[in-house]
Structure 1
Amino acid sequence: MFLFTIGVYSQVYNMEVEAKLHINQDNEHITIKGIAINKTKGNKNLSYKLSVFKTDQNNNKSKNQQSGSFDISSDQQKDLSTLSINFDKKSKLIILLLVYDSDKILIGKDRVVLHDEKQNSLEVRKDIADKINEFSVKVSEQSINNEVEAKIQIDQQNDFTSIKGTAFNKTEITKSLIYKLVVFNKEEDANTIEDEKHERFILLANQKVDLYSITFNLNKADKKICVLLIYDLDHNIIGQDRIVFNDDSNDRLEKKKKREQQLRQAQENSKDVSVAVKDGLELNGIVVEDTKTKPGRDFYKLFYALYSQNNINGNKVVTIKEILALGRNTKIEVIVGDDEVFSFFVRPSTEYLTKMNDYAIVRVYKHFKRQEKESKTIKRY
Protein backbone atom coordinates (compact mmCIF):
# COMPACT_ATOMS: atom_id res chain seq x y z
CA MET A 1 0.00 0.00 0.00
CA PHE A 2 2.87 2.41 0.82
CA LEU A 3 4.57 1.85 -2.54
CA PHE A 4 1.26 2.25 -4.36
CA THR A 5 0.61 5.57 -2.62
CA ILE A 6 4.03 6.86 -3.64
CA GLY A 7 3.41 5.81 -7.25
CA VAL A 8 0.09 7.66 -7.35
CA TYR A 9 1.45 10.91 -5.92
CA SER A 10 4.54 10.85 -8.15
CA GLN A 11 2.29 11.27 -11.17
CA VAL A 12 1.13 14.75 -10.06
CA TYR A 13 4.51 16.23 -9.08
CA ASN A 14 5.60 19.38 -10.92
CA MET A 15 2.29 19.77 -12.75
CA GLU A 16 1.26 23.13 -11.27
CA VAL A 17 4.47 24.16 -9.52
CA GLU A 18 7.79 22.69 -10.63
CA ALA A 19 10.73 22.20 -8.28
CA LYS A 20 14.09 22.48 -10.03
CA LEU A 21 17.71 22.17 -8.88
CA HIS A 22 20.56 24.17 -10.44
CA ILE A 23 24.00 22.76 -9.58
CA ASN A 24 27.37 24.35 -10.29
CA GLN A 25 30.52 22.38 -9.47
CA ASP A 26 33.97 24.03 -9.36
CA ASN A 27 36.76 21.59 -8.43
CA GLU A 28 35.96 20.57 -4.82
CA HIS A 29 33.34 23.23 -4.26
CA ILE A 30 29.69 22.86 -5.23
CA THR A 31 26.87 25.44 -5.24
CA ILE A 32 23.24 24.25 -5.11
CA LYS A 33 20.28 26.51 -5.83
CA GLY A 34 16.63 25.54 -5.48
CA ILE A 35 14.07 27.11 -7.82
CA ALA A 36 10.26 27.02 -8.01
CA ILE A 37 8.30 27.67 -11.23
CA ASN A 38 4.58 28.50 -11.03
CA LYS A 39 2.94 27.11 -14.19
CA THR A 40 -0.57 28.28 -13.28
CA LYS A 41 -2.39 31.61 -13.65
CA GLY A 42 -2.93 32.05 -9.89
CA ASN A 43 -0.76 33.29 -7.01
CA LYS A 44 0.29 30.65 -4.47
CA ASN A 45 1.54 30.49 -0.89
CA LEU A 46 3.98 27.57 -0.60
CA SER A 47 6.82 26.14 1.45
CA TYR A 48 9.98 24.26 0.52
CA LYS A 49 12.63 21.98 1.96
CA LEU A 50 16.12 21.69 0.43
CA SER A 51 18.15 18.75 1.80
CA VAL A 52 21.68 17.55 1.02
CA PHE A 53 22.77 14.07 2.14
CA LYS A 54 26.52 13.37 1.96
CA THR A 55 28.32 10.04 2.34
CA ASP A 56 32.15 10.11 2.25
CA GLN A 57 34.54 7.29 1.33
CA ASN A 58 34.59 6.08 4.97
CA ASN A 59 30.78 5.79 4.93
CA ASN A 60 30.40 8.77 7.29
CA LYS A 61 27.06 10.48 6.72
CA SER A 62 26.07 14.12 7.11
CA LYS A 63 22.97 16.17 6.34
CA ASN A 64 22.42 19.83 5.50
CA GLN A 65 18.90 21.21 5.26
CA GLN A 66 17.16 24.54 4.64
CA SER A 67 13.43 25.28 4.62
CA GLY A 68 11.04 28.19 4.49
CA SER A 69 7.79 29.67 3.16
CA PHE A 70 7.34 31.86 0.10
CA ASP A 71 4.75 33.50 -2.17
CA ILE A 72 4.94 33.07 -5.93
CA SER A 73 2.96 34.92 -8.60
CA SER A 74 1.44 33.37 -11.72
CA ASP A 75 3.95 32.24 -14.38
CA GLN A 76 6.84 33.30 -12.11
CA GLN A 77 10.19 31.64 -11.44
CA LYS A 78 11.48 32.17 -7.89
CA ASP A 79 14.87 31.43 -6.30
CA LEU A 80 14.31 29.64 -2.99
CA SER A 81 17.64 28.93 -1.34
CA THR A 82 21.34 28.49 -2.12
CA LEU A 83 23.76 26.06 -0.47
CA SER A 84 27.55 25.96 -0.86
CA ILE A 85 29.49 22.93 0.37
CA ASN A 86 32.88 21.27 -0.04
CA PHE A 87 32.72 18.12 -2.10
CA ASP A 88 35.24 15.58 -3.36
CA LYS A 89 34.78 12.96 -6.07
CA LYS A 90 35.04 10.10 -3.58
CA SER A 91 31.87 11.18 -1.80
CA LYS A 92 28.29 10.45 -2.77
CA LEU A 93 25.83 13.33 -2.69
CA ILE A 94 22.02 13.18 -2.77
CA ILE A 95 20.27 16.52 -3.28
CA LEU A 96 16.53 16.72 -2.73
CA LEU A 97 14.19 19.71 -3.24
CA LEU A 98 10.57 19.41 -2.10
CA VAL A 99 7.80 22.01 -2.56
CA TYR A 100 4.57 21.87 -0.51
CA ASP A 101 1.25 23.69 -0.91
CA SER A 102 -0.52 25.54 1.92
CA ASP A 103 -2.03 22.22 3.13
CA LYS A 104 1.51 20.69 3.40
CA ILE A 105 0.84 18.38 0.44
CA LEU A 106 3.87 17.64 -1.72
CA ILE A 107 3.35 19.13 -5.22
CA GLY A 108 6.90 19.64 -6.55
CA LYS A 109 10.01 17.51 -6.42
CA ASP A 110 13.51 17.32 -7.89
CA ARG A 111 16.34 14.96 -6.98
CA VAL A 112 19.97 14.75 -8.14
CA VAL A 113 22.58 12.12 -7.22
CA LEU A 114 26.27 12.90 -7.72
CA HIS A 115 29.07 10.34 -7.85
CA ASP A 116 26.94 7.29 -7.29
CA GLU A 117 28.90 4.22 -8.40
CA LYS A 118 25.71 2.39 -9.33
CA GLN A 119 24.53 5.18 -11.60
CA ASN A 120 27.93 5.50 -13.32
CA SER A 121 28.62 1.78 -13.73
CA LEU A 122 29.25 0.15 -17.10
CA GLU A 123 26.06 -1.88 -16.71
CA VAL A 124 23.98 1.29 -16.54
CA ARG A 125 25.75 2.79 -19.56
CA LYS A 126 25.18 -0.44 -21.47
CA ASP A 127 21.51 -0.38 -20.48
CA ILE A 128 21.22 3.17 -21.88
CA ALA A 129 22.81 2.08 -25.16
CA ASP A 130 20.48 -0.94 -25.37
CA LYS A 131 17.44 1.30 -24.86
CA ILE A 132 18.66 3.70 -27.55
CA ASN A 133 19.06 0.83 -29.99
CA GLU A 134 15.68 -0.63 -29.05
CA PHE A 135 13.84 2.63 -29.60
CA SER A 136 15.73 3.25 -32.86
CA VAL A 137 14.32 0.00 -34.23
CA LYS A 138 10.78 0.50 -32.91
CA VAL A 139 10.40 4.22 -33.56
CA SER A 140 7.78 3.67 -36.29
CA GLU A 141 5.65 1.63 -33.88
CA GLN A 142 5.41 4.35 -31.24
CA SER A 143 3.99 7.86 -30.99
CA ILE A 144 7.42 9.53 -31.09
CA ASN A 145 7.73 13.23 -32.08
CA ASN A 146 3.95 13.75 -31.94
CA GLU A 147 3.94 16.32 -29.11
CA VAL A 148 7.64 17.21 -28.90
CA GLU A 149 9.80 16.84 -32.00
CA ALA A 150 13.50 16.05 -31.67
CA LYS A 151 15.70 17.09 -34.59
CA ILE A 152 19.44 16.90 -35.29
CA GLN A 153 20.82 19.68 -37.48
CA ILE A 154 24.14 19.17 -39.32
CA ASP A 155 26.84 21.68 -40.26
CA GLN A 156 29.87 20.31 -42.16
CA GLN A 157 33.05 22.32 -42.76
CA ASN A 158 36.01 20.46 -44.27
CA ASP A 159 36.75 17.44 -42.06
CA PHE A 160 34.85 18.83 -39.07
CA THR A 161 31.16 18.14 -38.52
CA SER A 162 28.93 19.88 -35.99
CA ILE A 163 25.59 18.47 -34.89
CA LYS A 164 23.04 20.46 -32.94
CA GLY A 165 20.05 19.01 -31.16
CA THR A 166 16.79 20.97 -31.23
CA ALA A 167 13.40 20.44 -29.60
CA PHE A 168 10.04 21.79 -30.82
CA ASN A 169 6.97 21.78 -28.56
CA LYS A 170 3.97 21.17 -30.83
CA THR A 171 1.46 21.52 -28.00
CA GLU A 172 0.04 24.52 -26.13
CA ILE A 173 1.37 23.26 -22.77
CA THR A 174 4.70 24.16 -21.15
CA LYS A 175 6.73 20.99 -20.57
CA SER A 176 9.63 20.02 -18.29
CA LEU A 177 11.82 17.54 -20.16
CA ILE A 178 15.19 15.81 -20.31
CA TYR A 179 17.33 15.40 -23.41
CA LYS A 180 20.25 13.08 -24.24
CA LEU A 181 22.52 13.70 -27.24
CA VAL A 182 24.95 10.83 -27.92
CA VAL A 183 27.63 10.25 -30.58
CA PHE A 184 28.66 6.61 -31.14
CA ASN A 185 31.75 5.45 -32.99
CA LYS A 186 30.89 2.70 -35.55
CA GLU A 187 28.24 0.92 -33.44
CA GLU A 188 25.57 1.80 -30.88
CA ASP A 189 27.25 0.26 -27.87
CA ALA A 190 28.18 1.49 -24.39
CA ASN A 191 31.87 0.97 -25.13
CA THR A 192 31.77 3.06 -28.33
CA ILE A 193 30.25 6.26 -26.87
CA GLU A 194 32.47 9.05 -28.14
CA ASP A 195 30.60 12.02 -26.68
CA GLU A 196 27.36 12.54 -24.82
CA LYS A 197 25.36 15.27 -23.09
CA HIS A 198 22.18 15.10 -21.04
CA GLU A 199 20.33 17.84 -19.19
CA ARG A 200 16.92 18.94 -17.97
CA PHE A 201 15.19 21.87 -19.69
CA ILE A 202 11.90 23.80 -19.87
CA LEU A 203 10.09 23.99 -23.23
CA LEU A 204 7.33 26.57 -23.58
CA ALA A 205 4.20 26.04 -25.66
CA ASN A 206 4.85 26.20 -29.44
CA GLN A 207 8.54 26.96 -28.79
CA LYS A 208 11.62 25.65 -30.59
CA VAL A 209 14.95 25.67 -28.71
CA ASP A 210 18.55 24.69 -29.40
CA LEU A 211 19.74 22.09 -26.89
CA TYR A 212 23.45 21.32 -27.33
CA SER A 213 26.13 21.16 -30.03
CA ILE A 214 28.87 18.56 -30.52
CA THR A 215 31.75 18.94 -33.00
CA PHE A 216 33.90 16.02 -34.17
CA ASN A 217 36.41 15.16 -36.88
CA LEU A 218 34.77 13.05 -39.59
CA ASN A 219 36.75 11.26 -42.30
CA LYS A 220 35.13 9.53 -45.26
CA ALA A 221 36.05 6.14 -43.83
CA ASP A 222 34.63 6.83 -40.35
CA LYS A 223 31.17 5.67 -39.44
CA LYS A 224 29.44 7.63 -36.68
CA ILE A 225 25.94 7.40 -35.26
CA CYS A 226 24.27 10.41 -33.63
CA VAL A 227 21.16 9.92 -31.51
CA LEU A 228 18.97 12.58 -29.86
CA LEU A 229 16.40 11.42 -27.31
CA ILE A 230 13.90 13.56 -25.39
CA TYR A 231 12.27 12.18 -22.24
CA ASP A 232 9.37 13.34 -20.09
CA LEU A 233 9.68 13.44 -16.29
CA ASP A 234 8.63 9.77 -16.12
CA HIS A 235 11.61 8.90 -18.37
CA ASN A 236 9.40 7.91 -21.30
CA ILE A 237 10.91 8.74 -24.69
CA ILE A 238 8.62 11.22 -26.49
CA GLY A 239 11.04 12.60 -29.13
CA GLN A 240 13.82 11.00 -31.15
CA ASP A 241 16.10 11.60 -34.11
CA ARG A 242 18.98 9.50 -35.44
CA ILE A 243 21.61 10.17 -38.12
CA VAL A 244 24.28 7.81 -39.44
CA PHE A 245 27.39 9.15 -41.19
CA ASN A 246 29.24 7.05 -43.82
CA ASP A 247 26.88 4.09 -43.62
CA ASP A 248 27.27 1.67 -46.54
CA SER A 249 23.87 0.14 -45.86
CA ASN A 250 22.25 3.52 -46.57
CA ASP A 251 23.96 3.64 -49.98
CA ARG A 252 22.72 0.16 -50.84
CA LEU A 253 19.21 1.08 -49.74
CA GLU A 254 19.27 4.26 -51.81
CA LYS A 255 20.40 2.35 -54.90
CA LYS A 256 17.64 -0.19 -54.34
CA LYS A 257 15.04 2.59 -54.10
CA LYS A 258 16.30 4.11 -57.37
CA ARG A 259 16.07 0.76 -59.14
CA GLU A 260 12.51 0.25 -57.88
CA GLN A 261 11.56 3.76 -58.98
CA GLN A 262 13.01 3.19 -62.46
CA LEU A 263 11.08 -0.08 -62.68
CA ARG A 264 7.80 1.62 -61.71
CA GLN A 265 8.36 4.36 -64.27
CA ALA A 266 9.06 1.79 -66.98
CA GLN A 267 5.86 -0.08 -66.08
CA GLU A 268 3.79 3.13 -66.13
CA ASN A 269 5.21 4.19 -69.50
CA SER A 270 4.30 0.80 -70.96
CA LYS A 271 0.60 1.18 -70.11
CA ASP A 272 -1.95 2.00 -72.82
CA VAL A 273 -3.51 4.70 -70.60
CA SER A 274 -1.56 7.93 -70.56
CA VAL A 275 -0.13 8.97 -67.24
CA ALA A 276 -0.28 12.62 -66.25
CA VAL A 277 3.07 14.08 -65.20
CA LYS A 278 3.31 16.94 -62.78
CA ASP A 279 5.24 19.92 -64.09
CA GLY A 280 7.02 22.65 -62.18
CA LEU A 281 8.51 22.88 -58.68
CA GLU A 282 6.85 22.81 -55.29
CA LEU A 283 7.87 25.82 -53.18
CA ASN A 284 7.68 25.46 -49.42
CA GLY A 285 7.77 28.01 -46.62
CA ILE A 286 6.52 31.01 -48.65
CA VAL A 287 4.92 33.91 -46.73
CA VAL A 288 3.47 36.80 -48.78
CA GLU A 289 2.78 40.32 -47.49
CA ASP A 290 -0.27 42.33 -48.59
CA THR A 291 -0.52 45.06 -45.93
CA LYS A 292 -1.52 48.75 -45.98
CA THR A 293 -0.41 50.24 -42.64
CA LYS A 294 2.67 50.22 -40.43
CA PRO A 295 1.01 47.98 -37.75
CA GLY A 296 0.14 45.57 -40.56
CA ARG A 297 3.76 45.49 -41.74
CA ASP A 298 4.93 45.05 -38.13
CA PHE A 299 2.64 42.05 -37.75
CA TYR A 300 3.98 40.55 -40.98
CA LYS A 301 7.56 40.86 -39.69
CA LEU A 302 6.61 39.23 -36.36
CA PHE A 303 4.76 36.41 -38.11
CA TYR A 304 7.51 35.69 -40.64
CA ALA A 305 10.18 35.64 -37.90
CA LEU A 306 8.22 33.15 -35.77
CA TYR A 307 7.20 31.09 -38.84
CA SER A 308 10.87 30.70 -39.82
CA GLN A 309 12.06 30.11 -36.25
CA ASN A 310 9.62 27.22 -35.74
CA ASN A 311 10.61 25.75 -39.14
CA ILE A 312 6.98 25.16 -40.18
CA ASN A 313 7.90 25.15 -43.88
CA GLY A 314 4.35 24.62 -45.18
CA ASN A 315 3.69 23.42 -48.73
CA LYS A 316 1.15 26.20 -49.39
CA VAL A 317 1.64 29.95 -49.59
CA VAL A 318 0.71 31.86 -46.42
CA THR A 319 -0.65 35.35 -47.11
CA ILE A 320 -0.79 38.14 -44.53
CA LYS A 321 -3.55 40.34 -45.97
CA GLU A 322 -4.76 43.64 -44.52
CA ILE A 323 -8.20 44.88 -45.56
CA LEU A 324 -10.33 47.91 -44.69
CA ALA A 325 -12.87 47.31 -41.93
CA LEU A 326 -15.36 49.50 -40.04
CA GLY A 327 -14.56 53.20 -40.13
CA ARG A 328 -10.84 53.78 -40.31
CA ASN A 329 -10.00 50.40 -38.82
CA THR A 330 -8.22 47.66 -40.71
CA LYS A 331 -8.33 43.90 -40.35
CA ILE A 332 -5.57 41.30 -40.78
CA GLU A 333 -6.46 38.01 -42.46
CA VAL A 334 -4.05 35.06 -42.31
CA ILE A 335 -4.71 32.91 -45.38
CA VAL A 336 -3.18 29.49 -46.12
CA GLY A 337 -3.63 28.71 -49.80
CA ASP A 338 -7.29 29.65 -50.29
CA ASP A 339 -8.36 29.08 -46.66
CA GLU A 340 -8.61 31.87 -44.08
CA VAL A 341 -7.42 30.40 -40.78
CA PHE A 342 -7.25 33.50 -38.54
CA SER A 343 -8.29 37.17 -38.53
CA PHE A 344 -8.31 40.11 -36.13
CA PHE A 345 -8.77 43.90 -36.04
CA VAL A 346 -5.48 45.80 -36.04
CA ARG A 347 -4.34 47.87 -33.06
CA PRO A 348 -1.02 49.80 -33.00
CA SER A 349 0.28 47.99 -29.92
CA THR A 350 3.36 45.77 -30.05
CA GLU A 351 2.13 43.66 -27.12
CA TYR A 352 -1.24 43.13 -28.82
CA LEU A 353 0.33 42.27 -32.20
CA THR A 354 2.72 39.82 -30.52
CA LYS A 355 -0.18 38.07 -28.79
CA MET A 356 -2.17 37.88 -32.04
CA ASN A 357 0.96 36.54 -33.75
CA ASP A 358 1.17 33.67 -31.25
CA TYR A 359 -2.47 32.76 -31.97
CA ALA A 360 -1.92 32.99 -35.74
CA ILE A 361 1.15 30.71 -35.71
CA VAL A 362 -0.75 28.04 -33.78
CA ARG A 363 -3.72 28.20 -36.21
CA VAL A 364 -1.44 27.99 -39.27
CA TYR A 365 0.55 25.09 -37.81
CA LYS A 366 -2.61 23.14 -36.94
CA HIS A 367 -4.01 23.80 -40.42
CA PHE A 368 -0.92 22.29 -42.09
CA LYS A 369 -0.98 19.31 -39.72
CA ARG A 370 -4.68 18.70 -40.41
CA GLN A 371 -4.05 18.79 -44.17
CA GLU A 372 -1.12 16.42 -43.78
CA LYS A 373 -3.29 14.00 -41.80
CA GLU A 374 -6.13 14.20 -44.34
CA SER A 375 -3.74 13.54 -47.23
CA LYS A 376 -2.74 10.25 -45.60
CA THR A 377 -6.34 9.17 -45.05
CA ILE A 378 -7.90 6.83 -47.61
CA LYS A 379 -11.18 8.36 -48.79
CA ARG A 380 -14.05 5.99 -49.55
CA TYR A 381 -16.95 6.95 -51.83
Structure 2
Amino acid sequence: MKQLYLNSIFSCLMLFFNSTYGQLNESVTGKIIIQESDNLILIKAQAVNEELIFKNDLYYNLLALKKNTAGNYSSNRQEGVFSLEPEESKNLSEIRLSVDPSDDLRIYLFIKQNNIVISKDSLHIAQSNNEKVKEEVVSEVDFALKGIVIDEVITKVGKDFHDFFYQQYSTSGKLYPFIITISEKPYFGRSSIITITSEDKKLFEFMSKPDEEFLKTAVKATLKNVNQYAKQRQLLYNNTRF
Protein backbone atom coordinates (compact mmCIF):
# COMPACT_ATOMS: atom_id res chain seq x y z
CA MET A 1 0.00 0.00 0.00
CA LYS A 2 2.83 2.38 0.87
CA GLN A 3 4.58 1.60 -2.43
CA LEU A 4 1.35 2.23 -4.33
CA TYR A 5 0.95 5.57 -2.53
CA LEU A 6 4.52 6.59 -3.42
CA ASN A 7 3.99 5.56 -7.03
CA SER A 8 0.85 7.72 -7.16
CA ILE A 9 2.73 10.73 -5.78
CA PHE A 10 5.54 10.17 -8.27
CA SER A 11 3.06 9.96 -11.16
CA CYS A 12 1.38 13.20 -10.09
CA LEU A 13 4.73 14.95 -9.80
CA MET A 14 5.77 13.80 -13.27
CA LEU A 15 2.45 14.98 -14.70
CA PHE A 16 2.91 18.38 -13.05
CA PHE A 17 6.51 18.62 -14.28
CA ASN A 18 5.58 17.78 -17.87
CA SER A 19 2.61 20.14 -18.00
CA THR A 20 4.42 23.04 -16.31
CA TYR A 21 8.01 22.90 -17.53
CA GLY A 22 7.39 21.14 -20.79
CA GLN A 23 5.79 24.34 -22.08
CA LEU A 24 9.22 25.99 -22.07
CA ASN A 25 10.30 23.65 -24.87
CA GLU A 26 8.65 25.62 -27.65
CA SER A 27 8.35 24.14 -31.13
CA VAL A 28 7.00 27.12 -33.04
CA THR A 29 9.05 27.99 -36.12
CA GLY A 30 8.88 31.31 -37.94
CA LYS A 31 9.72 31.41 -41.65
CA ILE A 32 10.12 34.17 -44.25
CA ILE A 33 8.81 33.20 -47.69
CA ILE A 34 9.25 35.44 -50.73
CA GLN A 35 7.80 35.43 -54.24
CA GLU A 36 9.32 37.63 -56.94
CA SER A 37 7.72 38.93 -60.12
CA ASP A 38 9.49 41.58 -62.20
CA ASN A 39 10.12 44.49 -59.81
CA LEU A 40 7.63 43.31 -57.19
CA ILE A 41 8.36 41.15 -54.14
CA LEU A 42 5.71 39.46 -52.02
CA ILE A 43 6.95 38.76 -48.49
CA LYS A 44 5.06 36.26 -46.35
CA ALA A 45 5.53 35.58 -42.65
CA GLN A 46 4.66 32.00 -41.76
CA ALA A 47 4.47 30.22 -38.42
CA VAL A 48 4.46 26.44 -37.96
CA ASN A 49 3.43 24.56 -34.82
CA GLU A 50 5.43 21.33 -34.80
CA GLU A 51 3.75 19.91 -31.68
CA LEU A 52 0.40 18.31 -30.87
CA ILE A 53 -0.30 21.14 -28.41
CA PHE A 54 -2.41 24.26 -28.94
CA LYS A 55 -0.25 27.40 -28.75
CA ASN A 56 -1.71 30.78 -27.84
CA ASP A 57 -0.50 34.19 -26.65
CA LEU A 58 1.87 34.33 -29.61
CA TYR A 59 3.05 37.61 -31.17
CA TYR A 60 4.83 38.24 -34.47
CA ASN A 61 6.86 41.19 -35.75
CA LEU A 62 7.71 41.32 -39.46
CA LEU A 63 10.00 44.09 -40.71
CA ALA A 64 11.09 44.81 -44.29
CA LEU A 65 13.85 47.40 -44.64
CA LYS A 66 14.78 48.72 -48.09
CA LYS A 67 17.79 50.90 -48.94
CA ASN A 68 18.24 52.61 -52.32
CA THR A 69 21.46 53.65 -54.05
CA ALA A 70 21.36 57.07 -52.35
CA GLY A 71 21.51 55.36 -48.97
CA ASN A 72 17.94 56.31 -48.00
CA TYR A 73 15.87 53.78 -46.07
CA SER A 74 12.18 52.96 -46.16
CA SER A 75 10.50 50.42 -43.93
CA ASN A 76 7.32 48.40 -43.69
CA ARG A 77 6.31 46.67 -40.47
CA GLN A 78 3.50 44.23 -39.70
CA GLU A 79 2.76 42.85 -36.24
CA GLY A 80 0.01 41.14 -34.34
CA VAL A 81 -1.20 38.45 -31.94
CA PHE A 82 -2.04 34.93 -33.08
CA SER A 83 -2.50 31.32 -32.01
CA LEU A 84 -1.76 27.94 -33.58
CA GLU A 85 -3.69 24.71 -33.57
CA PRO A 86 -1.71 21.46 -33.16
CA GLU A 87 0.61 20.97 -36.16
CA GLU A 88 -0.90 24.00 -37.88
CA SER A 89 0.94 26.09 -40.46
CA LYS A 90 -0.36 29.65 -40.69
CA ASN A 91 0.40 32.66 -42.86
CA LEU A 92 0.61 35.59 -40.47
CA SER A 93 1.07 38.57 -42.74
CA GLU A 94 2.05 39.74 -46.22
CA ILE A 95 4.06 42.73 -47.45
CA ARG A 96 4.19 43.74 -51.11
CA LEU A 97 7.14 45.87 -52.16
CA SER A 98 8.29 47.49 -55.36
CA VAL A 99 12.06 47.19 -55.69
CA ASP A 100 14.58 48.55 -58.16
CA PRO A 101 17.46 46.38 -59.39
CA SER A 102 19.92 48.32 -57.23
CA ASP A 103 17.88 48.29 -54.00
CA ASP A 104 19.10 46.43 -50.92
CA LEU A 105 16.40 44.60 -48.96
CA ARG A 106 16.61 43.11 -45.47
CA ILE A 107 13.71 41.21 -43.92
CA TYR A 108 13.36 40.22 -40.26
CA LEU A 109 10.76 38.06 -38.51
CA PHE A 110 10.46 37.59 -34.75
CA ILE A 111 7.93 35.40 -32.94
CA LYS A 112 7.40 35.90 -29.22
CA GLN A 113 5.50 34.22 -26.42
CA ASN A 114 5.14 36.01 -23.09
CA ASN A 115 7.49 38.73 -24.38
CA ILE A 116 10.27 36.18 -25.05
CA VAL A 117 11.58 35.55 -28.56
CA ILE A 118 11.01 31.85 -29.34
CA SER A 119 11.75 31.90 -33.07
CA LYS A 120 13.36 34.24 -35.60
CA ASP A 121 14.25 34.35 -39.26
CA SER A 122 15.94 36.86 -41.56
CA LEU A 123 16.79 37.33 -45.20
CA HIS A 124 19.10 39.76 -47.02
CA ILE A 125 18.49 40.32 -50.72
CA ALA A 126 21.20 42.23 -52.57
CA GLN A 127 19.38 43.20 -55.75
CA SER A 128 22.56 44.15 -57.65
CA ASN A 129 23.45 40.47 -58.03
CA ASN A 130 20.11 38.98 -56.87
CA GLU A 131 21.95 37.24 -54.05
CA LYS A 132 19.90 35.98 -51.12
CA VAL A 133 21.70 35.46 -47.83
CA LYS A 134 20.38 34.17 -44.52
CA GLU A 135 21.59 36.38 -41.69
CA GLU A 136 22.06 35.07 -38.16
CA VAL A 137 20.12 37.34 -35.82
CA VAL A 138 21.32 37.02 -32.24
CA SER A 139 18.50 38.90 -30.53
CA GLU A 140 15.80 41.43 -31.30
CA VAL A 141 17.69 44.09 -29.36
CA ASP A 142 21.04 43.56 -31.08
CA PHE A 143 20.04 42.67 -34.64
CA ALA A 144 21.68 44.61 -37.45
CA LEU A 145 19.66 47.81 -37.58
CA LYS A 146 22.00 50.13 -35.72
CA GLY A 147 22.12 53.75 -36.81
CA ILE A 148 19.23 53.64 -39.29
CA VAL A 149 17.21 56.83 -39.82
CA ILE A 150 14.05 56.75 -41.96
CA ASP A 151 13.32 59.90 -43.98
CA GLU A 152 9.57 60.70 -44.27
CA VAL A 153 9.81 64.48 -44.67
CA ILE A 154 7.96 66.47 -47.32
CA THR A 155 9.64 69.90 -47.44
CA LYS A 156 13.12 71.30 -47.97
CA VAL A 157 13.22 72.42 -44.34
CA GLY A 158 12.38 68.90 -43.25
CA LYS A 159 15.09 67.51 -45.53
CA ASP A 160 17.61 69.99 -44.09
CA PHE A 161 16.74 68.89 -40.57
CA HIS A 162 17.08 65.22 -41.56
CA ASP A 163 20.50 65.85 -43.09
CA PHE A 164 21.73 67.84 -40.06
CA PHE A 165 20.44 65.17 -37.69
CA TYR A 166 21.85 62.23 -39.66
CA GLN A 167 25.27 63.87 -39.90
CA GLN A 168 25.42 64.48 -36.15
CA TYR A 169 23.97 61.08 -35.27
CA SER A 170 26.18 59.03 -37.61
CA THR A 171 29.36 60.69 -36.28
CA SER A 172 28.35 60.73 -32.61
CA GLY A 173 29.73 57.25 -31.88
CA LYS A 174 26.32 56.24 -30.45
CA LEU A 175 24.40 54.22 -33.03
CA TYR A 176 21.43 52.61 -31.29
CA PRO A 177 19.81 49.25 -32.20
CA PHE A 178 16.47 50.76 -33.12
CA ILE A 179 15.12 52.63 -36.13
CA ILE A 180 14.59 56.39 -35.87
CA THR A 181 11.91 57.87 -38.13
CA ILE A 182 11.72 61.56 -39.02
CA SER A 183 8.27 62.43 -40.38
CA GLU A 184 6.63 65.69 -41.31
CA LYS A 185 3.09 66.97 -41.77
CA PRO A 186 1.80 70.31 -43.09
CA TYR A 187 0.75 73.08 -40.71
CA PHE A 188 -0.55 76.63 -41.19
CA GLY A 189 0.86 78.55 -44.12
CA ARG A 190 4.25 77.24 -45.21
CA SER A 191 5.16 75.78 -41.82
CA SER A 192 5.11 72.13 -40.86
CA ILE A 193 5.44 69.90 -37.82
CA ILE A 194 8.44 67.58 -37.69
CA THR A 195 8.13 64.50 -35.48
CA ILE A 196 10.87 62.09 -34.44
CA THR A 197 9.68 58.62 -33.40
CA SER A 198 11.00 55.16 -32.70
CA GLU A 199 9.04 51.95 -32.13
CA ASP A 200 5.75 53.90 -32.15
CA LYS A 201 7.01 56.25 -29.41
CA LYS A 202 7.27 60.00 -29.97
CA LEU A 203 10.74 61.18 -28.95
CA PHE A 204 10.57 64.83 -30.02
CA GLU A 205 8.36 67.17 -32.03
CA PHE A 206 8.66 70.78 -33.13
CA MET A 207 7.31 73.33 -35.59
CA SER A 208 9.68 73.82 -38.52
CA LYS A 209 11.45 77.06 -39.24
CA PRO A 210 13.67 77.81 -42.26
CA ASP A 211 16.65 78.80 -40.16
CA GLU A 212 19.85 76.74 -39.99
CA GLU A 213 20.72 77.61 -36.39
CA PHE A 214 17.18 76.80 -35.29
CA LEU A 215 17.32 73.42 -37.00
CA LYS A 216 20.70 72.60 -35.48
CA THR A 217 19.34 73.48 -32.04
CA ALA A 218 16.42 71.10 -32.73
CA VAL A 219 18.96 68.43 -33.68
CA LYS A 220 20.69 68.79 -30.31
CA ALA A 221 17.37 68.49 -28.48
CA THR A 222 16.43 65.44 -30.56
CA LEU A 223 19.75 63.70 -29.88
CA LYS A 224 19.31 64.33 -26.15
CA ASN A 225 15.85 62.75 -26.21
CA VAL A 226 17.04 59.82 -28.34
CA ASN A 227 19.87 59.17 -25.88
CA GLN A 228 17.42 59.25 -22.95
CA TYR A 229 15.09 56.85 -24.76
CA ALA A 230 18.00 54.48 -25.44
CA LYS A 231 18.87 54.40 -21.73
CA GLN A 232 15.27 53.70 -20.71
CA ARG A 233 14.97 51.03 -23.38
CA GLN A 234 18.14 49.28 -22.23
CA LEU A 235 17.02 49.43 -18.60
CA LEU A 236 13.68 47.85 -19.52
CA TYR A 237 15.46 45.15 -21.52
CA ASN A 238 17.78 44.34 -18.61
CA ASN A 239 14.84 44.07 -16.21
CA THR A 240 12.91 41.67 -18.47
CA ARG A 241 15.83 39.28 -18.91
CA PHE A 242 15.40 37.83 -15.41
Tell me whether the two structures share a fold, i.e. TM-score over 0.5.
no
Greater Rg, structure 1 or structure 2? 1
TM-score normalised to structure 1 length: 0.27
More relative contact order in 1 or in 2 (CA 8 Å, sep 6+)? 2
